[in-house]
Chains A and B, each alone.
Chain A
Amino acid sequence: MYLTFIVFLPLAAAIIAGFGGRVLGDRGAQLVTCGAVITSAILSIFAFYNVALGHQPEHVVLANWIVSGGFKVDWAIKVDTLTTVMLVVVNGVSCLVHVYSVGYMSHDPHKPRFMAYLSLFTFAMLMLVTADNFVQMFFGWEGVGLASYLLIGFWYKKPSANAAAIKAFLVNRVGDFGFALGIFGIFLVFGALDFATVFAAAPAMAGKSFTFLDHQVDVLNTLTFLLFIGAMGKSAQLGLHTWLPDAMEGPTPVSALIHAATMVTAGVFMVARCSPLFELAPGTLQFVTIIGASTAFFAATIGLVQNDIKRIIAYSTCSQLGYMFFALGVGAYGAGIFHLFTHAFFKALLFLGAGSVIHGMSDEQDIRKMGGLFPYMKVTAILMWIGSLALAGIGIPGIDLGFAGFYSKDIILESAYAAHSSVGFYAFWLGIAAAFMTAFYSGRLLFMTFHGHSRADHDVLHHAHESPQVMLIPLYILATGAVLAGFVFYEFFVGHHYAEFWNGALTVVDENVLEHAHHVPFWVKLLPLVMAVGGLAISWSFYIDNVPKWARLLGLVAALGIVGAGIAQGDGGLILTGVAALVLALVFYFGRTGAPGTLVASNQALYQFLLNKWYFDELYDTLFVRPAKWLGFQLWKKGDGKVIDGYGPDGVTAAIGFVARRARVLQTGYVYHYAFAMLIGVAALVTWYMLHSGGGH
């Protein structure tokens, strides 16, 4: 029963606040929506305790939705460990964002609408994660897409916001098309759409193929590939990622909730949910790994050079989603979901922290116009530091103590390494590179925003202020999660309690790669940390003038220590790690604030390439947008205007008008003309009968 409340309280709140906003007023709408979602969040924790920790999955059928011949779909709430994890993430972040929005949107005239959209989004996301069949999942999938569209375009008077909203919707449409085709295919192949039936029948279909255009195509590979296209759109993976950075046009709480913590992870969730299918489709899994790893790398490179505080975090999100996907791709579903879980905390924290900065800086988002803000907003700065350290994955590998991202990101990289496949290594090395870049851009963001000299306007700086408590309290909670979530839940998600925690919610066909992940060489665990520390250190030396000499030397010493340890143990991997550390330490040692400018000047082409986001938008603009616009314009002007209107309504109208004007002349007013017409009529009829009556006499 309480499960129903979890899902439907946000819907009720959305309806009440959305349609009754005028009656309730701003405060009333905020109370209703926040109250509903907080209640939902508390119940979700309860559900997590019952289902995930108490090992009691629940399945509630609410109603039959569609019954048509063999086609049967229910409204249902399926709650297993995977769902409860999502419930906690969704409702947890959602309720914090609801509360935060009360402060953040305090100057906005349309508060009830905003709160209603947020609650509507929450409902749709909950429908998605509690679905027990593909159709309900698709309902939620489209619902979150709608809510995302509405919220990105919330400030509908801004043309850029409208454009971003439309772009998000259209790009997602491409993915959704794949997802829908996948669902159709599943129904075609399995004759059912509920997870239980499909997953049970899946092993029998393994290795089967069908003929498509004279080629034998593997059934499950095709279906899962189509499903993954949907996931790529929703989770902004390479190729279909272009909407996510633009989506930052929406209010910052929206970015935190939808475009960092929850909706964009729907693709990850869907692949994990369909693990029984994906596990039987090795081709798709390889594809997932490659796409995920490439996205992790690609988005991180762009994050290096962005100047908009929200866009940096947006590319970071894109990159981290890539990590999650390649974890899924190598079969480490638990690791992927674990990263989803921890990422929700620190990425929401970062976004809301960025929102706090923006709020305090009179809506300034360009980090080049910030700097030295630490004294003005100490709390926000510290919280952002916590979030960034968690994102960078700082922790101590030997004794396993660190921020949340340390646990989840490392287990992903270890899994990729442990997969011992070519795609696994591809993912591992790109992941390592991305880890360095992640740390670097995180450090860049922090140093350029909070430290060094201020580059802000005097007026802005004069008004710079710390955010109110209603905005900071959600940040405290998220920061707690960013620090502790990894440490507390590591054993459940990917460690010793894996089997009983997941309780069959995730399927792995071959031996579990996570088992091997725990037994990778030490250097595999150390290397990500080296990268993270190195990235932070280098950004420090690049963006802050007075880095103390001892720190620079310490870097060199530590690196040399690793090399030494490697040589002593005769461990090639460790030596390699040490050499990498040494390189980074040298860069750190010689790094000065002029370095970024020099680098940019000497690598102008690369810089432009990254700054312009690998020219993806330009490419799509040329390949798709312009031709589509051209085609549309042609169809409109020529197809519709000239042909259909011209020969259709307008043509007929003109012809009839023409005939009518001409024929009017016949009506002369002369009696003998009229009489003549009558006689012609009679003559014509008589002639007709003369010719046609069957031989009269």
Chain B
Amino acid sequence: MIEVPALLPALPEIILAIGALALLMLGVFTGEKSLRTVSALAVLLLLAAAAAVLPGYRDTVVTFGGMFVSDSFGGFCKILILLGSALSIIISVDYLERENLKRFEYPVLIVLATLGMLMMVSSNDLIALYIGLETQSLALYVMAAFSRDSARSTEAGLKYFVLGALSSGMLLYGSSLIYGFTGGTSFSLIAAAVSGSGPVPIGVLLGLVFVMAGLAFKVSAVPFHMWTPDVYEGAPTPVTAFFAVAPKIAAMALLVRTMFGAFPEISDQWQQILVFLSIASMVVGAVFAIVQTNIKRLMAYSSIGHVGYALMGVATGTPDGVKSVLVYLAIYLAMNVGAFALIIAMRRKDGATESIADLAGLSRTRPAMAFALAIFMFSLAGIPPLAGFFGKFYVFIAAIEANLTFLAVIGALASAVSAFYYLRIVKVMYFDEPADAFDVNTGRGITAVATVSALVTLLFFVFPAPIVGAAAYAAQSLFQ
């Protein structure tokens, strides 16, 4: 008699899995023209999954033989991921139609990738971790090469795939080392094995390094970031927008989950790696972006820098640190979805453009768009009172309270350097002679998403309590 595990905690994942297959069937039977229908249904599916997260939000439940955990930390991240994915679909459809990429697989792939992300967030075992990660990654590889007639897009997909395979290999190698030295794959077993007093076995440390290298690749932390600019630039812009948001959040959540779930007692060990990754990411993100002329590459380095700030929160190893990471991710979601919505809207009659120079004089040709983009840039730069400032503020505070003041100082300096390239975009938009105007027909989806995220970014400081409170509650669930 096989015991059936409790399925209810995994309800969102199950909804997505079945829904994705159903959407696939629908697409196959109705053909290319069903992109809009499938997309709309995919958005609804993602929102339904988000609704399914809510009932179990407050409880910590472990199921599937200890491989799967549902708690409020996971719930918080899942809602962010689902929102990010849904918004990504909304801002993509018009672009896909115009650029002749009108294929129904696109939303289905996003749903499948999202399924993998939810599994990552809930994983409580090295095996589950790997399955979730690969479910996500396989969908993402395909998406990067989605514009299959474009050499750049296919190159991006291939690079991502090859390097992703390498990182998966590292992750697996690390997992096997950890298994070998602790005798378990379950996070709770590993945690029990390395909690004892005395020196940590070097094998576990090596395993930890390899696992973290694999995860660092996913969050594109330096020096595992090199794929990011190329893939961001090569992939179709909506895909880049998606890459920049949901998978980042998922991978960051997975990193937190692994560190705090499997290695809570040796935080002083993994802290060292994270401090290094954080500093390297912040500095590289700040410095390399300066010389970029392509806005997608610039956003790639921007996301590398932001990952550095988020890693600072993880490196603290404290509940406050995790809270700050969650707040950071939520704000990061709002800023980046909005910014990318506007980048997708950068198009002229002869097609989409990606050069920063094309934004020249936008304040005169499209004042509202320029204003919204300026809000996002100021927020990304961390200028008060916009949301981006508070994201950094909480992280820095957590770092200082965890005696990582030097990290906060480096973060502040990197933030100052990065302000240069964010503000340069504002300068180009407001002070340079206008270039040719963009296409006026932006599309309702993009306008709505950009407007809402601009408002959230602008007004976060008025009413930060819900997000900050929820994040604190979610962070607490990791420390029980």
Which residues of A are interface residues toward B (Cβ below 8 A)? 653, 656-657, 659-661, 663-664, 667, 669, 671, 673-675, 677-678, 680-682, 685-686, 688-690, 692-697
Contact = CB atoms under 8 A, between A and B. Distances in A.
A355 to B, nearest CB: 50
A653 B423 CA distance: 14
Contacts of A673: 226
Nearest to B234: A669
A672 to B, nearest CB: 9
Interface string B421-449: 00000000000000000000000000000
Interface stretch (B126-134, B204-212, B312-320): B204-212
B134 to A, nearest CB: 18
Interface string B163-177: 100110010000000
A696 B230 contact: no
Contacts of B199: 693-697
A696 B209 contact: no
B410 interface: no
Interface string B85-102: 000000000000000000
Given A656-B417, A663-B288, A682-B209, A677 B202 contact: no
Interface stretch (B269-277, B393-401, B464-472): B269-277
Interface of B: 158-159, 162-163, 166-167, 170, 199-203, 205-206, 209-210, 212-213, 216-217, 222-224, 226-227, 229-230, 269, 272-273, 276, 284, 287-288, 290-291, 417, 420
Contacts of A688: 272, 276
A678 B223 contact: yes
Nearest to A676: B226
Contacts of B273: 685
Contacts of A657: 290-291
A17 to B, nearest CB: 39
Contact of A663 (B158, B170, B216, B287): B287
Contact of A667 (B200, B201, B212, B229): B229
A658 to B, nearest CB: 10
Contacts of A682: 170, 209-210, 213
Contacts of B284: 663
Contact of B276 (A660, A663, A685): A685
A574 B163 CA distance: 116
A-B pairs, top 7 by smallest CB distance, nearest first, are A696-B202, A681-B223, A674-B226, A660-B291, A660-B290, A685-B209, A682-B213
A674 B205 contact: no
A678 B216 CA distance: 10
A24 to B, nearest CB: 39
A675 B209 contact: no
Contacts of B227: 674
A664 to B, nearest CB: 5
B202 A660 contact: no
Nearest to B226: A674
Contacts of B212: 685
Chain B: interface secondary structure?
helix
A656 B290 contact: yes
A693 B205 CA distance: 9
B202 A693 contact: yes
A660 B201 contact: no
Given A678-B217, A693-B269, A697-B202, A660 B288 contact: yes
Contact of B159 (A674, A677, A690): A674
A682 B209 CA distance: 7
A686 B209 contact: yes
A682 B230 CA distance: 21
A677 B226 contact: yes
Contact of B288 (A664, A677, A693): A664
Contact of B226 (A661, A664, A667, A685): A667
A692 B201 CA distance: 13
B159 A671 contact: yes
A669 B162 CA distance: 13
Nearest to B161: A671
Given A656-B290, A656-B417, A663-B288, A675 B201 contact: no
Contact of B166 (A675, A685, A686): A675
Contacts of A680: 223
Given A675-B166, A693-B200, A685 B213 contact: yes
16 contacts: A656-B290, A660-B291, A661-B291, A663-B284, A663-B287, A667-B229, A674-B159, A678-B223, A681-B216, A685-B209, A686-B206, A693-B205, A695-B199, A696-B199, A697-B201, A697-B202
A664 B291 contact: yes
A660 to B, nearest CB: 5
B371 to A, nearest CB: 27
Nearest to A680: B223
Contact of B213 (A678, A690, A692, A696): A678
A686 B173 CA distance: 14
A685 B212 CA distance: 10
A31 B217 CA distance: 79
A688 B273 CA distance: 9
Given A659-B287, A685-B213, 11 more contacts: A660-B291, A674-B226, A674-B227, A677-B223, A681-B224, A685-B212, A685-B273, A689-B205, A692-B272, A696-B203, A697-B201
Nearest to A659: B287
A645 to B, nearest CB: 16
Contacts of A659: 287
B162 A671 contact: yes
B277 to A, nearest CB: 9
A656 B212 CA distance: 29
Nearest to B287: A660
A677 B201 CA distance: 27
Contacts of B272: 688, 692
A487 B52 CA distance: 103
A684 to B, nearest CB: 8
B174 to A, nearest CB: 9
Candidate in A661, A663, A681, A697 with the most chain B CB atoms within 10 angstroms = A681
B213 A675 contact: no
A554 B298 CA distance: 100
Contact of B163 (A667, A675, A690): A675
B202 A689 contact: yes
Contacts of A696: 199-203, 205
Contacts of A661: 291
Nearest to B223: A681
B144 to A, nearest CB: 13
Contacts of B222: 681
Nearest to A678: B224
A205 to B, nearest CB: 51
Nearest to A686: B209
A689 B209 CA distance: 9
B308 to A, nearest CB: 14
Most buried by A among B205, B224, B229: B205
B163 A678 contact: yes
A675 B167 CA distance: 9
Contacts of B203: 696
A692 B209 CA distance: 14
A193 B201 CA distance: 74
B276 to A, nearest CB: 7
Contacts of B209: 682, 685-686, 689
A351 B170 CA distance: 94
A667 B276 CA distance: 20
Contacts of B291: 657, 660-661, 664
A508 B158 CA distance: 101
Contacts of A664: 288, 291
A295 B420 CA distance: 60
A593 to B, nearest CB: 70
A675 B159 CA distance: 10
Contacts of B201: 696-697
Contacts of A656: 287, 290, 417
Nearest to A664: B291
Contacts of B159: 671, 674
Nearest to B217: A678
A678 B166 contact: yes
